[in-house]
Homo-oligomer: A and B are copies of this chain.
Amino acid sequence: MAKTNPGRFFEDYSDGQVLHHAVPRTVTDGERALYHALYPARHALYSSDEFARNCGLPQSPIDDLAAFHVVFGKTVPDISLNAVANLGYAEGRWLKPVYPGDTLRAESEVIGVKENSNGKTGVVWVRTRGFNQRDEVVIEYVRWVMVRKSNLDAPAPEAVVPDLKKALDPQDLVVPSGLDFTTYDFAQSGEAHRWGDYEIGETIDHVDGVTVEEAEHMLATRLWQNTAKVHFDLTFRPDGRLIYGGHVISMARALSFNGLANAQMIVGLNGGAHANPCFAGDTIKAWSEVLDKAQTTVPGIGAIRLRLVATKGGEPFVLKNEDGRYQPNVLLDLDYWALMPV
């Protein structure tokens, strides 16, 4: 009997199937420190236990994106080992902060399958949930991927395409229990701009850039136990080791501090596209656009919907070309909700 895991192929998925992902993971102060070594992260709520306490939390949580990466990493052996492309994200929500000492595990439910007309690949939609050691859902999101068929003779399943929200409604967003910006310290947070200071349609060039090295993205990707071969094995892909898309997300989010220092917590992921591949040597820059604003149910806490674009240089604020395709310098187009002091 073969002992190694070949991964699943398109014909192995069916609508309604539940996958229990392996290898739970305890995150600690070590992961927190590594996150700050790998990304220029400076949002104060994640940098200082004192700042977090002043905002009503027991201590600094693990970065929201680190929690996402750990949960995502769990799913790779079951979802994307034979994936051709990561097509999109939707309906992502952060439901509970993750603290040092918490142990995360993940489950995914298949919510859609559709074979492509070429008969060689298909699209699989999954809703993934990350749980802590108290079986509370800390994060959930929908992802869809294109997966190869192994047996080309396998019959096409009945197509099921889920109906996904283009963006989360503000009332779907969960403000962490206890979060309170009443005595928020704008001097300590790094910028004076409140939720009220941002206008829908406003764009921000985050100015700074980071040239990515091979060692860094591999350290990050291993830390989240993401095992996709293309990130580690230089013999696997002739054009270089592909950088895990989540590395680009975290780098861009950290760079966005410069202009969005008070967009403290990520609570919703409306969508995201890895527009072009990123390789070591690329210098990642970022810009943002304010897409929407909304009140939350908690006084003093506003929600801001942001488009976060990572590029490998070039002019900011240029996303697509005339025929609607992403510019070649665009790496990431992410649409998320964050919480800010009003």
CB within 8 Å of B: which residues of A?
A: 1, 3-5, 20, 22-26, 28-34, 36-40, 42, 44, 47-51, 59-60, 77, 100-101, 103, 105, 133, 187-191, 193, 197-198, 204-211, 213-216, 218-220, 222-223, 225, 227, 229, 232-236, 241, 258-261, 281, 283, 313
Contact = CB atoms under 8 A, between A and B. Distances in A.
A1 B193 CA distance: 10
A188 B50 contact: no
Q: Which of A3, A205, A235 has the most CB of B within 10 A?
A: A3
A148 B194 CA distance: 30
Nearest to A49: B26
Assembly of this chain: how many copies? 3
A232 B209 contact: yes
A20 B208 contact: no
A219 B37 contact: yes
A207 B211 CA distance: 31
Contact of A23 (B188, B233, B235): B188
Nearest to A22: B190
A325 B304 CA distance: 55
Contacts of A213: 213-215, 218
A49 B30 CA distance: 14
A234 B260 CA distance: 24
Contact of A187 (B5, B20, B209): B20
B26 A47 contact: yes
B188 A105 contact: yes
B33 A28 contact: yes
A233 B205 contact: no
Given A37-B219, A208-B227, A210-B233, 20 more contacts: A1-B193, A3-B191, A4-B204, A4-B259, A23-B42, A25-B47, A26-B48, A28-B29, A28-B30, A28-B32, A29-B30, A34-B34, A36-B223, A36-B225, A50-B103, A208-B229, A210-B232, A213-B215, A215-B215, A216-B219
Nearest to A211: B234
A259 B3 contact: yes
